[in-house]
Amino acid sequence: MEYTHLGRLGVQVSRLCLGTMNFGPQTTEPNSFAIMDLALEAGINFLDTANVYGWKTGEGVTEQIVGRWLAQGGGRRDKVVLATKVYGGMSKEEWPNFNKLSALNIRRACEGSLRRLQTDHIDLYQMHHVDRGAPWDEIWQAMEQLVREGKVLYVGSSNFAGWHIARCNETADRRHLLGLASEQCLYNLTARESELEVIPACEGYGMGVIPWSPLGGGLLGGALKKPSKGRRGSERIRDRIEKHRDQLEAYEKLCADLGEDPANVALAWLLANPMVTAPIIGPRTAQQLKDSLRAVEISLEHAAMGTLDEIFPGPGGPAPEAYAW
């Protein structure tokens, strides 16, 4: 496994980040444990979750699974850079202040995540979405207190626009704080809008970029040749396949010519971007994780990168040059 710094920071993380969103809803606890054990054996030290994962409101099912895995010991907690998120609602009834990014909810949500994860600190605490109703000073006051107490080491964002990244970091700088360590954004061959504002903002502030949905919801994983069942068989996925069929046919032909699995080519394309820290892979099985490890070894040549740009054109580079003089 290869490692890199998380943006400008000293902490090092693996070039693949293990996403846990399937743990609970799609993958049983024993199989989730097996996947995390295998990831650690393969050198993956970056693990991402969220308080809302598990999709049973207020229960934090996935965090609980991760917590029970960490509690087994064997150096698991010390070896892992543990990331989770705050924003989503965690109350089983409609009640104010049990979601979003008020100082009140940030503190409550952090305590809940610590309890479920069975740990005394979160390495990377990420805001799952921007909260337009909470001032940045309030958010940083809450985060600063958690850092002071040793409950959080680094703060990250997710699904932020470039403007939000700038405002958030400028507020942190004014308060003499470290600011954002990373941004977790939607980024893959079929969704390249982040190249306009988000990735340039991350570069400007020295932040790591952690792409989620690197396979485009399964489209880039060999969708044309795999059986249409489960998630891929849903009407929404079938409609997306038909919408992108010409592109996918060209893409899967390129992958076949390269002798590589389409999913790994999609990951390798992201890893070739010097701004990308680690794409989030979300395996449902141990075999899917094993297959993904190949991506780190793939070095796409200039011609292949050019062909990928032709098949899946980006927005034209960073803004404003992409749409203005």
Catalytic site includes residue 53: yes
Please pick, among 3, 53, 154, 251, the residue that the annotation labels catalytic: 53
- What is the three-state SS of the chain? CCEEECCCCCCEEECCEEECCCECCCECHHHHHHHHHHHHHCCCCEEECCCCCCCCCCCCHHHHHHHHHHCCCCCHHHHCEEEEEECCCCCCCCCCCCCCCCHHHHHHHHHHHHHHHCCCCEEEEEECCCCCCCCHHHHHHHHHHHHHCCCEEEEEEECCCHHHHHHHHHHHHHCCCCCEEEEEEECECCECHHHCCHHHHHHHHCCEEEEECCCHHHCCCCCCCCCCCHHHHCHHHHHHHHHCHHHHHHHHHHHHHHCCCHHHHHHHHHHCCCCECCCEECCCCHHHHHHHHHHHHCCCCHHHHHHHHHHCCCCCCCCCCCCCC
Q: Catalytic positions, please?
A: 53
